Amino acid sequence: MLLAIFFSAFVASAVCCIFLIRTQHLHARLTMDTDLAGVQKFHATPTPRIGGVPVLLGMLMAGGVALWAEKALSGLFWLIILAAMPVFLAGLLEDLTKKVRPLWRLLAAFVSAAAAAYFSGSILPKIGISGVDALLASIPLLGILFTVFAVGGVCHSVNIIDGYNGLMAGVAFFALVAFAYVALAVGDIPLLALCLAGGGAILGFLLWNFPRGMIFAGDAGAYFIGFLLAQLAVLLVARHPDKISPWFPLLVLIYPVFETIFSIYRKKIVRKISPGVPDGLHFHMLVYKRLVRWMVGSRETKHLLRRNSLTAPYLWGVALFSIMPAMAFWKAEWMLKLCALLFVVGYVWTYRRLVTFRSPRRIILQKKG
Q: H or E element: which one contains 159?
A: helix 140-160
Render pLDDT for 319-328 as a digit per residue (tens, 0 to 9). 999 999 999 9
What is the C-alpha separation between 241 and 27, in angstroms, rounded?
Answer: 47
Q: Find all residues with CB under 8 Å of 108, minimum gap 6, and list them.
A: 86, 87, 89, 90, 91, 223
Rounded to 5 degrees, what angle do the CA atoms 316, 320, 323 make? 135
Mode of pairing for the β-strands spanning 292-294 and 47-48: unpaired
What is the C-alpha separation between 171 and 102, in angstroms, rounded?
Answer: 22
What is the C-alpha separation between 164 and 285, in angstroms, rounded?
Answer: 9
Specify the long-range contacts of residues 260-268, CB closer than 8 Å, at least 24 apart. 260/153, 260/156, 260/157, 260/160, 262/347, 262/348, 262/351, 263/160
Count of the separate structural domains present in the chain: 1
Candidate from 157-171, 189-203, 304-318 with smallest mean pLDDT: 304-318
172 within 8 A of 229, measured Cβ to Cβ: yes
Q: Find all residues with CB under 8 Å of 306, minimum gap 6, and list them.
A: 211, 294, 295
Specify the long-range contacts of residues 269-275, CB closer than 8 Å, at least 24 apart. none
Render pLDDT for 120-145 as a digit per residue (tens, 0 to 9). 888 999 998 888 888 888 888 999 99
What is the C-alpha separation between 126 and 369, in angstroms, rounded?
Answer: 54
Q: At what angle do helices 71-83 and 189-209 cross, to 10 degrees?
A: 60
What average pLDDT does range 155-163 have in this prediction? 92
The structure's pTM equals 0.93
Mean of all residue pLDDT scores within the chain: 89
Residue 369 confidence class, pLDDT cut points 50, 70, 90: very low
Rounded to 5 degrees, what angle do the CA atoms 299, 300, 303 make? 100
Q: Find all residues with CB under 8 Å of 104, minimum gap 6, and list them.
A: 90
Render pLDDT for 56-70 as a digit per residue (tens, 0 to 9). 999 999 999 988 877
- Output the CA torsion 164→170→175→178 (10° steps): -160
Render pLDDT for 241-259 as a digit per residue (tens, 0 to 9). 999 999 999 999 999 999 9
DSSP string across 294-323: ETTT---HHHHHHHHHTTHHHHHHHHHHHH
Residue 295 confidence class, pLDDT cut points 50, 70, 90: low
* Containing structural domain, residue 334: 2-367
Render pLDDT for 75-123 as a digit per residue (tens, 0 to 9). 888 999 999 999 999 999 999 998 888 889 999 999 999 999 998 888 9
3-state secondary structure of 365: strand
179 within 8 A of 324, measured Cβ to Cβ: no
